[in-house]
Amino acid sequence: MTTPAGQGRAPEGGAGTQPRSVLRITDLVAGYGGGDVLREVSLQVPEGGITCVVGPNGAGKSTLLAAVSGLLRPRLGSIELDGQDLAGLSPRQVLRLGVVQVPQNHSLFRDMTVRENIELGGYILADRALTARRAAAVFDLFPDIAGWAGKKAGSLSGGQQRLVEFARALMLEPRLLLLDEPSMGLAPKILRTVFDAVRQMNATGTTILLVEQNARAGLRLSSHGVVMESGRVRLSGTGREVLENPEIGALYLGGAVSAG
């Protein structure tokens, strides 16, 4: 067992004094039927920041999030949220502890209205008054969404659906928000809106663990960066450190990606 979060030393590769970690993953091994995708992954998510995980396809970024949110049961290792081990809990139990995931593929209930979708974000609250209060707060944060409340979720554009997914995730006032490639399939122009929304959610105090294919834009947005490769952590540090690491820049960030 590792020491409880908050008293730990700085992680390897970390720079200077670290804020308290919300999430501490230690030697995590996990995979689907065909074998291990994650091979002893260790990383920390500092409180109040945005931690961005980048890496090539198949590095295990999405698998990492699936293991944290309970969709995938890890084989070995620990995933501690504020010192409590999440490994092996069901998605529902993980939600109750305050970890909410927005998956990579569009996950709105297409035949339901935007309002119904957002209310369903508070499904485990099972309290109408609380659900209504939270929904009102979410509509305050994203005023655009209030205008779509009566529309079928399936009729929204890709970018709009992303924002509604964020809003739905905020219904539980998450301790940790997991975002799996929010830029997936979006036009560059809309990308900015989506990243602005990520920044905005972070500004209201939500700690975010972000997985991003668009590495440059993701890291620029983030306080911390983690580079994964073939199921292992290759490097971690502040967002800027990772962005400016020449080796990593050449390997994963791709010189061709324009400054956004």
Kindly list the residues in this chain that would bind another protein in the complex (CB under 8 A). 33, 69, 71, 90-92, 95-96, 100-101, 103, 105, 107-112, 116, 120-121, 123-124, 126, 168
CB of 28 to another protein, least distance (A): 19
Residue closer to another protein (CB basis): 18 or 113: 113
Nearer to another protein, 22 or 72 (CB): 72
Considering the complex, what minimum distance in angstroms separates the CB of residue 91 from another protein? 5
Specify the residue, 184 or 251, whose C-beta has the smaller distance to another protein: 184
Which residues fall within 8 angstroms of residue 109, CB to CB, at 6 or more apart? 116, 117, 120, 153
Return the DSSP state at 8. P
Distances (CA, A) of 141 to 88, 163, 203: 33, 11, 11
Q: In this complex, which beta carbon is closest to another protein, that of residue 101 or of residue 160?
A: 101
- 107/202 with CB nearer another protein: 107
CB of 189 to another protein, least distance (A): 26
The sign of the dihedral angle between the CA atoms of 42, 1, 223, 201 is positive
Minimum CB separation of residue 132 from another protein in Å reads 14
State the minimum distance, in angstroms, from the CB of residue 174 to another protein.
Answer: 12
Nearer CB in complex with another protein: 121/239: 121
9: buried, middle or exposed (CB in 10 Å: 19+, 13-18, 0-12)? Answer: exposed
CB of 73 to another protein, least distance (A): 13
Q: What's the min distance (Å) between Cβ of 106 and another protein? A: 9
175 Cα distance to chain centroid: 11
Residue nearer to another protein on the CB measure, 11 or 121: 121
Angle at 51 between CA 46 and CA 57, to 5 degrees: 145
State the burial class of residue 32 (Cβ atoms within 10 Å of its Cβ: 0-12, 13-18, 19+). Answer: exposed
Alpha helices, DSSP H, located in 45-187: 61-69, 91-96, 114-121, 128-141, 143-148, 158-170
Q: Is residue 104 a contact partner of residue 184, using CB atoms and an 8 Å limit?
A: yes
202 CB-side CA count, 13 A: 23
